Chains A and B, each alone.
Chain A
Amino acid sequence: MKARLYKLFTWCMVLCLAIPEFALAAGGGKIENIVIVADTRKFTGWEAWWTNLYNESHLYFALLTIVLIPTIGVIFGVFADFLMGFIGIDLKSRDLADH
């Protein structure tokens, strides 16, 4: 009985994962979005490279975003951790979570 219920649960989860495809199909067709082009004339050096990357490929720009954002977040977060640990704050435990 337990095995059957687990099977049913798994099938329901698979169905839930398939629902977005039906929802997307009901979305009503493709529409044209506004395309923004960055003005590279005002920039030199790394800023020029940056804006050219954006203009040439949004995919690479998106991949760069997904890599950079967590990396920078972790670097500065760890720096804040180091500062708080240096001050003497216990960063590994807290009192029991109450309601």
Chain B
Amino acid sequence: MEWLYVLMPIAGVKIFWPGLIILGVGVGIIGGFFGMGGAWMVTPGLNILGFPMAFAIGTDIAHMAGKSLISTMRHGKFGNVDYKLGLIMLVGTVVGFEIGAQMIMWLERLGSVEKVVRYLYIILLAFIAWMVFHDINVKKRKEAEMRAAGQDASQAVGVQWHKTFHAIKIPPMVHFNEAGIYCSAWLPIFVSFLTGWLAGILGIGGGLIRMPSLIYIVGCPTHVAVGTDLFEVAISGLYGAGTYTYKGRTELVAAVIMLIGASMGAQVGAVATKYIKGYGIRYAFGIAVVGCILSIITKLMAKGMNLPFLDDVSTAIVLVTVSSLSLYILLKFIAGCKKEVAMKAAKG
């Protein structure tokens, strides 16, 4: 079974290469579907396969850049990418990220970085999960009320916090055509600065935070939030890939092997958004966030209670979340494709 393992030239470790392809495909599907890079899933996955942590992070970012780029191209053809919005947000993201990274160095000098980052991560993810499920609950309640009143329940939407933010009219006011919104340019800049700052502190790409922010604060439709977020991830991923490789912490052979699976998986995930409504995507996203929270809490318990087996449990939670979500999306993709091809055959 020697042929199943390949020696990585830079990291100097032997890696089970089918595991790289499986991880790449799974995260590619999820990334193309949700508009996330997937760092919180891939980095522990690579660490389990045998990579030292610094190489796991660098390799993940490198593959994420390629996967996000192809997903952005796919979403762009569907009209899901608002490039104007993405470019305006890029400035805030980069600035916020850099300030977040510098704050980490300051916290490191104080000796408080682990505590602050851990608890901030849990609080943030819990808030995001609450926001998503609260939104779904509000929508269900409004649907029931509209049905009871004899109205068309398909028009019901959940929380609409973005309407409050859109009412703040600080010039310059900008039309974002693909997103279908008209708001102050300072809103996406402020949101991207905040999400970039959080991403800088937590050491992630930011899609996990930026995608729901685009929906709930900026007011993008779900599909446009996914596509525009991927555009941001592609650019920040390319920058991250360059910087980590320059620091010598990228195993490019592994990144390429993952990318082969991820770039095809990302296409599947992106096309699957055609077959699932906006709220279906949000619901699945909420489940992904809950999986992430459980994984982090288990890891904290492993350290705090000195129970090393909980480290394996934490990793298992991440892998189960990745596998089950990507399988769900793949099945929806296959069902949607069958229906579309059958409809075309019936017409033709």
The chain A residues found within 8 Å of chain B, CB to CB, are 2, 5-6, 9, 13, 16-17, 19-20, 23-24, 26-28, 33, 35-36, 38-39, 42-43, 47, 50-51, 54, 58-59, 61-62, 64-66, 68-70, 72-77, 79-81, 84, 87-95, 97-99
Contact = CB atoms under 8 A, between A and B. Distances in A.
Interface residues on B, range: 35 or more
B78 A93 contact: yes
Nearest to B171: A5
Interface of B: 7, 9-10, 12, 62-63, 65-67, 69-70, 73-74, 77-80, 91-92, 94-95, 98-99, 102, 105-106, 109, 157-158, 171-172, 185, 189, 193, 215, 221-224, 238, 241-243, 245-250, 252-253, 255-256, 259-260, 262-264, 266-268, 271, 273-274, 277-279, 337, 340-341, 344-345
Given A54-B248, A58-B247, A88-B340, A97 B80 contact: yes
Contact of A87 (B74, B79, B341): B341
B62, B266, B267 pick with most chain A CB within 10 angstroms: B267
Contact of A91 (B77, B105, B253): B77
B171 A72 contact: no
Contact of A69 (B238, B248, B267): B238
B69 to A, nearest CB: 5
Contact of B241 (A5, A16, A69): A69
Contacts of A38: 9-10, 12
Contacts of B74: 77, 81, 91
Given A36-B248, A87-B341, 7 more contacts: A26-B106, A61-B245, A65-B255, A70-B65, A76-B70, A77-B267, A99-B221
A76 B257 CA distance: 11
Nearest to A6: B172
A94 B277 CA distance: 11
A90 B185 CA distance: 34
Nearest to A15: B95
A92 B270 CA distance: 12
